[in-house]
């Protein structure tokens, strides 16, 4: 029995450590988004338009572009590093950053479309459920 207790304690400690690490990573990511103004501008867009969906779409687009820029620059730099046919200088990472920003924008728009379709589907399902439950609760 003691072996199972020690095994359970080890697994629990690993899971707690992973949870703390993920929590710290989320805090760092949120602090970065706040410092860059991504969250505040998304909230402002949502408040100005009066639609939460507009704020979420702005958040997706800004996060996609911000994540794509360094990813594209690093990929272009790595390609330049492993291939001698590509020229030197900062032009390659700059083009990579531009390509990464466009890829991030495309990914953000895809995520926005998925979010909108999921929201529409869930709204229809809830409307059906509310109609059925209101028929049951209605007095005869």
| pLDDT higher than threshold 90 for residue 15 | yes
Angle at 28 between CA 23 and CA 34, to 5 degrees: 125
- Per-residue pLDDT, averaged over 103-114, amounts to 89
- Per-residue pLDDT, averaged over 15-23, amounts to 94
CB-based contacts of 88: which residues, under 8 Å, 6+ apart?
Answer: 80
Give the closest residue to 40 by CA, choosing from 68, 8, 62: 62
pLDDT score, position 85: 64
């Amino acid at each position: 029995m003691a072996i199972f207790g020690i095994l359970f304690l080890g697994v629990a400690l690993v899971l707690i450590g992973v949870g703390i690490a993920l929590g710290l990573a989320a805090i760092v990511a949120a602090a970065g988004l706040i410092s860059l103004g991504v969250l505040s501008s998304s909230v402002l867009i949502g408040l100005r338009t009066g639609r939460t969906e507009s704020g979420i779409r702005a958040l997706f687009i800004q996060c996609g572009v911000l994540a794509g820029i360094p990813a594209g620059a690093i990929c272009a730099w790595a390609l330049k590093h492993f291939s001698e046919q590509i020229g030197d200088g900062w032009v390659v990472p700059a083009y990579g950053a531009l390509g990464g920003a466009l890829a991030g924008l495309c990914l953000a728009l895809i995520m926005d479309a998925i979010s909108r379709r999921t929201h529409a589907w869930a709204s229809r399902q809830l409307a059906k459920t509310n109609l059925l439950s209101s028929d049951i609760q209605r007095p005869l």
